[in-house]
Each structure stands twice: as C-alpha cells, then as structure tokens.
Amino acid sequence: MTTQVQQRPMDERRAAAFADRMVGAVDAASLVLQCSIGDQLGLFDVMAGLDGATSEQIAQAAGVRERYVREWLAALTVAGVVEHDATARTYRLPPEHAASLTRAAGPDDLARLCQCIPMLAEAEQLVVQAFRSGGGVPYTAFSRFHAVMAEDSAAVNDASLVGTILPLVPGCPDRLTAGIEVADFGCGSGHAVNLMARAFPASRFVGYDFSPEAIGRARAEAAAWGLPNARFELQDVAVLDRVDAFDLITAFDTVHDQAQPGQVLATIARALRPDGVFLMVDVTGSSEVADNVGMPLATFLYTCSLLHCMPVSLGLDGVGLGTMWGRQTALRMLGEAGFADVEVREIETDPQNAYYVCTLG
Ligand SMILES: C[S@@+](CC[C@H](N)C(=O)[O-])C[C@H]1O[C@@H](n2cnc3c(N)ncnc32)[C@H](O)[C@@H]1O
C-alpha cells in the first residue's frame, strides 16, 4: 500500500519571486568572481586613482592585458559597479563604490572578501565526494588558503590589533610594554604576532602553526621587519607540551578549525600562567541555526564551514565543529577547559567575530 503525501498547493507568486531571487543569485555569484579577480590584480585600486579611463589606460596602469581588462570592465558595467561612457569609451569607478572595493578601504574592502569564494571552490569536488563517502579535505587542497587568510586577517589587525583589540584585555598594553611572554596558537602567516612584536619590543612572542607554508611566510615577515622578539614554530597545538609558560595567549580564528578543539583549549589553559589571559577571537553567531537567519553574511559563513573549516577538521579524524559553532558552544567548551571567567566583547571593525577574554579565575 502506498501512502499519499498531501502537498500544500503551490503559491505561484512565491515560486516566481524565488526564481527571480535565484537568477539574481547567479548574477551576484558571478560578480563576486569578477571582484575577486579585480582585487587580486589591483584593478579597483588603479581605477580609483583614475577619474574615467579607457580599457587600454587601465590595463597599462595595472600592468595586465587589455583584452582581459575590457571583458572584465564589460561585466562590471552591466553589473552597475563601474560607469561606462560609450562615446568616450571610458570606464569610471565611482568613489562610493571604491569605498568598498579598494585596499585603501582597509577592513571595509569587500573585494578582498570576494576572494574567499573561488578559494573555497577549489575544494568543491572533494566536498561533493565527502558527502557520499565521508572523510574530509586536507589543507593542501586549498592552494590559496594562506594567502587569502593572511590578507583578510591583516586588514582587521592592521587597523585594530594594537589600538583596539589588545586593550579589550584589561591592563594588557601596559603588561606588553613592560615585557611578558606571549603565544599565538594557529598563527597562520604570523602577521598578528609580528605586529605585536613590533609594537612591544620588551615582550617575547611565539607563533605556532602546523602549516610549513604559513610558518615560512611568518618567518619571512619577521626577518624582513628585523624582529628579534618574534619566533615561529612548526607545531601541532593539540599536542603542545608547555606548562605555566605564557602571560597572554591569543588564538585568532583558529579554534573552530581544530581537529580536537577541546584538547587545544585544555592545552592553552595548561600553558597559561595562573594570572594569564587567553584572548580567543572566533566567529560570532549562535550555536542554533534558527537564531542565525538574517545575520549578515550568515550564508557565507556556513559556506566557509561546509567547504573548509568543517572538512579540514574531519580530514584529520577530528570533530568537525564548523565555523558556526556559536557562542553557546564556545562558552561551554571554554568552561570545560578550565576558564572560570569569560567576557565576550565585540569591535566595530570586525563584526563577524566575537572576542572572548578568558581567565582561569
Ligand atoms: C583560519 S586560519 C587562521 C590563521 C591566523 N590565525 C589568522 O587569523 O590569519 C587557522 C590556522 O590554524 C592552523 N591550525 C589548524 N589546526 C592546527 C593545529 N592543530 N596545530 C597548529 N595549527 C593549526 C592552520 O594551519 C591555519 O593556519
């Protein structure tokens, strides 16, 4: 006997509106790819400095091929991002658009964020496969991960690390000025460590990451800046064996990526001195998906999770926490690791992250 499933009658207007939305989504996704290309090649930066120019002039200023630039400009013209004068054959990036698309915009440069989509898409076929067969994706599947991540976090840290973020920890700038021991877990390309080491020469900094590429980039920057107080170690932070070693430990956007996040938080608690502080910067939002409906960039963040953060953890036989583990889970896990006191702060230049100031109590 077959059971008939009663379908609700279809709302034709709702269906048409949704189809329109999907058409818009395909166009918007295409615009994101165009913006990623423009950002990587510095085309927006060049255009912001020219008040209307031909494709030849833009190509020459950017040092790239005119035929490609002309096709890119065509896409951005129909997308309404650049203005085109068909008679003069010129293209102009209005300053109101440049404010969201150029490096001069710092943390407000959304073209930089657009690079994340093609970076994530590198793993798309492996993720499709993992839906069927389980397992995960290795970090090495993402050829541009460290470059994109470094540029993204540097934009926030250049603008805010020393002046806004570190002062979230009571007394921190004074202690750093006097000279303390600091570790950054999952330091990636190490820019945050190098910024802190440059600003606080009396303190000593170590960055840990298990990626040789990231550690190489971090050491190269420290050497270029001539920093005697910054060092970087190739290290799986889940098995780091340090006790009572640090006055300040930072973890920028890395705990949710961990294969064993609980173990890493316990390692951090053990490595911290009794009066030390752990500053964990991690993606904001709720652990309940229903609470995140309507949150800006929520679809993007769950996409980062599905295509990168969750599968890299699962690929190491990890728990696959995911980008959107949320504040409730974060607070529970920090408590389980031994952090008796946790204050959650936010900053304007980094609305996607929560800043957890944690002490052992
Ligand atoms: C999302 S990136 C963040 C990098 C950097 N903190 C930033 O904000 O630019 C996460 C980093 O954690 C590192 N990582 C993940 N699991 C790790 C582990 N168990 N030990 C050491 N590093 C780890 C990755 O290699 C990657 O560089």
User: Looking at residue 8, what is its pLDDT?
Assistant: 84
Q: Which CATH number fits domain 12-106: 1.10.1660.10, 3.40.50.20, 3.90.1300.10, 1.10.10.10?
A: 1.10.10.10
Q: 197 CB under 6 A from ligand 1?
A: no
* pTM, rounded to two decimals: 0.94
> What pLDDT digit, counting tens, does each position of 55-76 carry?
999 999 999 999 999 999 999 9
Ligand 1 pocket, residue 253 CB under 6 Å: yes
Q: Is the pLDDT reported for residue 186 higher than 90?
A: yes
Reply yes or no on whether the pLDDT at 38 is more than 70: yes
Question: For residue range 315-325, what is the model confidence (pLDDT) as tens digits?
Answer: 999 999 999 99
Question: Is residue 188 lining ligand 1, measured as CB closer than 6 Å?
Answer: yes
Compute the average pLDDT of residues 225-235. Answer: 98
Total residue count of the chain as it appears in this document? 361
Average pLDDT over residues 329-345: 98
Q: Is the CB of 350 under 6 A from ligand 1?
A: no
Report the atom number in ligand 1 closest to the C-alpha of 238.
19
Q: Take residue 107 and report the two structure tokens written for it.
A: 């943390």
* pLDDT of the residue at 2: 61
* Closest CA to ligand 1's atom 15: 258
Percent of the chain with pLDDT over 90: 97
The reported pLDDT for the residue numbered 6 is: 73
Q: How far, in Å, is the centroid of ligand 1 from the Cα of 264?
A: 12
Average confidence (pLDDT) over 209-213: 97
Measured from the CB, is residue 237 less than 6 Å from ligand 1?
yes
Report strand pairing: 246-252 vs 272-283: parallel
Across 94-108, average pLDDT: 96
In CATH, what is the architecture of 120-359?
3-Layer(aba) Sandwich (3.40)
Q: Is ligand 1 within 6 A of the CB of residue 68?
A: no
Given this model, what pLDDT does residue 7 score?
A: 78
Q: State the distance from the centre of ligand 1 to the C-alpha of 300, rounded, in angstroms.
A: 19
The atom of ligand 1 lying closest to the CA of 236 is 20
One-character DSSP codes across 288-322:
SGGGGTT-TTHHHHHHHIIIIIHHHHHTTT-----
Q: What is the pLDDT of residue 211?
A: 97
Q: Where in the chain is the domain with CATH 1.10.10.10?
A: 12-106
- The CATH 3.40.50.150 domain(s) of the chain lie at 120-359
Q: What pLDDT was estimated at residue 120?
A: 98
- Rounded to whole angstroms, the Cα distance separating 354 from 44 reads 30
Give the whole-angstrom CA distance, residue 248 versus residue 165: 13
CA distance 361 to 342: 9
Query: CB atoms < 10 A from the CB of 321, how many?
Result: 24
Residue owning the nearest CA to atom 16 of ligand 1: 258
Q: And the tokens for 299? A: 């679809």
Helix pair 66-78, 55-62: axis angle to 10 deg: 120
Q: pLDDT tier at 1 (50, 70, 90 boundaries)?
A: low
- Over residues 280-293, the pLDDT tens digits come to 999 999 999 999 99
Q: Is residue 41 within 8 Å of residue 66, measured between CB atoms?
A: no
Quick: pLDDT tens for 153-177: 999 999 999 999 999 999 999 999 9
For residue 241, what pLDDT is reported?
Answer: 96
Mean pLDDT of the chain: 97
Using CA atoms, how far apart are residues 207 and 249, in angstroms rounded to an integer? 10
275 Cα–ligand 1 center, Å? 25
| Residue 214 CB less than 6 A away from ligand 1 | yes
User: What are the two backbone dihedrals, phi and then psi, of residue 230, each rounded to the nearest 5 degrees?
Assistant: -125, 130
Distance 276 CA to ligand 1 centre (A): 22
In short, whether 210's Cβ falls inside 6 Å of ligand 1 is yes
Atom of ligand 1 at shortest range from CA of 214: 27
The structure tokens 């999770």 sit at 305
Q: Are 361 and 340 within 8 A, CB to CB?
A: yes
Question: What's the 3-state SS for 91-136?
Answer: EECCHHHHHHHCHHHHHHCHHHHHCHHHHHHCCHHHHHHHHHHCCC
Task: Write a three-state SS string for 211-229.
Answer: CHHHHHHHHHHHHHHCCCC
Nearest atom of ligand 1 to the alpha carbon of 191: 9
| H or E element at residue 272 | strand 272-283
- Whether 211 is in the pocket of ligand 1, judged by its Cβ within 6 Å, is yes
